[in-house]
């Protein structure tokens, strides 16, 4: 298996967490304050609640930090499971990666994004659901950028529903299609499951009875987006661990990684895009920073106890 745990120890540059810089995670934007002792306070506000954490440099270790609550503050630290952080400046990315005591990569702050958090999160979500599918009638459905095509003809548009700036995974479809309505979109191993919902006066989405299945028909990997976008929106938490295993290994499969596990050999062998190479010797060198980090994020989620999982996938 590809060794990913040591990737951040290579090619690091000097500290570059600037005072006043913005750091995106999910739909949230945190602002950095560099303190007199060179520690960094990251703060944000969500639904009127102050969110804050402190990064304190580790002596004699470049770009290494201890993660803690902000001293003297009653504000909530949503990253209490993280105990250390590392600043990464590679391949055009500026990132703050948070780890636990077991070296699991839990969260990533992205300092390279220029747009606001909600716009970034919606854009990432759309990339995760875009592509060609087949519906229950055998017709080809293509989900594009806010447009849905049936048999190659634009039939509908869709709107991503957010709540307090966060991506809900719910879309509202309007147009000449049997998919018209409001749906919670759940990624599955084979494609998408659409669960009809209605929104109540409090903004909550309540399930209705209708369900639609869309089977992936794209020419690339079902999870090809994991080779391109940084998965710090955490939407993959809704997937089963068995799906996460395929998703993680699909990143390697795009590089022709030759698998030995029978289930992976069978799954990727039945795809049209997978071309195994005779040796895995060079695969590690080909992986981008985003691919390596996504592998670590997914693996950490797989390691989570079942009672901590937030699974919606049927």
Confidence band for 305, pLDDT divided at 50, 70 and 90:
confident
Average pLDDT rounded to a whole number, residues 60-68: 95
Q: What is the pTM of this model?
A: 0.91
Q: Give CATH 1.20.58 domain extents, the chain.
A: 227-308
Confidence band for 114, pLDDT divided at 50, 70 and 90:
confident
Instruction: Please give the angle made by the CA atoms of 41, 47 and 50, to the nearest 5 degrees.
Output: 25
What's the fold here for domain 7-114? Answer: Lipocalin (2.40.128)
Q: Residue 67 pLDDT more than 80? A: yes
Confidence band for 64, pLDDT divided at 50, 70 and 90:
very high
Average pLDDT, the chain: 92
Domain 227-308 has CATH 1.10.12: no
Q: pLDDT (tens digit, 9 = 90+) per residue, 273-299? A: 999 999 999 999 999 999 999 999 999
Distance from C-alpha of 178 to C-alpha of 100, rounded to nearest angstrom: 46
The predicted pLDDT at position 308 comes to: 67
Q: Give CATH 2.40.128 domain extents, the chain.
A: 7-114
Confidence band for 301, pLDDT divided at 50, 70 and 90:
very high
Q: Are 69 and 53 in contact (CB under 8 A)?
A: yes
Q: pLDDT (tens digit, 9 = 90+) per residue, 210-254? A: 999 999 999 999 999 999 999 998 888 889 999 999 999 999 999
Average pLDDT rounded to a whole number, residues 98-109: 96
Q: Residue 134 pLDDT more than 70? A: yes
Confidence band for 304, pLDDT divided at 50, 70 and 90:
confident
Label each residue of the chain as H, E or C.
Answer: CCCCCCHHHCCCCCCCCCCCCEEEECCEEEEEEECCCCCEEEEEEECCEEEEEEEEECCCCCCEEEEECCCCCCCECCCCCCCEEEEEEECCEEEEEEECCCCCEEEEEECCCCCCHHHHHHHHHHHHHCEEEECCCCCEEEECCCEEEECCEEEEEEEEEEECCEEEEEEEEEECCCCCEEEEEEECCCEEEEEEEEECCCCCEEEEEEEEEEEECCCCCCCHHHHCCCCCCCHHHHCCHHHHHHHHHHHHHCCCCCCCCHHHHHHHHCCCCCCCCCCCCCHHHHCCHHHHHHHHHHHHHHCCCHHHCCCCCC
Most confident range (mean pLDDT) of 115-119, 268-272, 305-309 is 268-272
Look at residues 227, 232, 244, 231 and name the one whose alpha carbon lies nearest to residue 288: 227
**% of the chain residues with pLDDT over 90:** 83
Q: Are 294 and 226 in contact (CB under 8 A)?
A: yes
Which residues, other chains included, contact 242 with Cβ-Cβ below 8 Å and sequence gap of 6+? 189
Strand partners, 294: none
């Amino acid at each position: 298996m590809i060794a990913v745990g040591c990737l951040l120890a290579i090619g690091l540059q000097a500290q570059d967490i600037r005072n006043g810089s913005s750091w995106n995670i999910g739909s949230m934007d945190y602002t950095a304050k560099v303190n007199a002792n060179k520690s960094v306070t990251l703060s944000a506000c969500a639904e009127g609640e102050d969110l804050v954490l402190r990064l304190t440099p580790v002596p004699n270790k470049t770009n290494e930090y201890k993660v803690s609550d902000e001293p003297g503050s009653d504000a909530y630290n949503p990253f209490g499971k993280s105990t250390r952080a590392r600043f990464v400046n590679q391949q055009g990315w500026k990132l703050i990666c948070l780890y636990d005591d077991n070296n699991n990569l839990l969260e990533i702050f992205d300092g390279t994004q220029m747009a606001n958090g909600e716009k970034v999160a919606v854009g990432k979500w759309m990339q995760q659901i875009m592509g060609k599918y087949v519906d229950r009638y055998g017709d080809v459905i293509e989900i594009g950028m806010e447009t849905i095509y049936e048999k190659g003809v634009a039939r509908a548009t869709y709107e991503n529903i957010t709540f307090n700036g966060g991506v809900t995974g719910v879309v509202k479809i309007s147009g000449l299609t049997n998919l018209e309505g409001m749906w919670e979109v759940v990624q599955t191993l084979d494609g998408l499951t659409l669960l009809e919902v209605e929104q109540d006066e409090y903004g909550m989405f309540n399930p209705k009875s209708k369900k639609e299945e869309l089977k992936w028909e794209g020419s690339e990997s079902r999870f090809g987006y994991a080779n391109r976008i940084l998965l710090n929106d955490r939407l993959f938490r809704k997937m089963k661990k068995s799906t996460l295993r395929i998703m993680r290994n699909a990143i390697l499969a795009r590089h022709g990684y030759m698998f030995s596990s029978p289930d992976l050999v069978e799954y990727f062998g039945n795809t049209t895009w997978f071309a195994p190479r005779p040796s895995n010797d060079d695969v590690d060198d080909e992986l981008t920073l985003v691919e390596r980090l996504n592998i670590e994020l997914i693996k950490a989620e797989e390691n989570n106890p079942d009672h901590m999982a937030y699974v919606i996938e049927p």
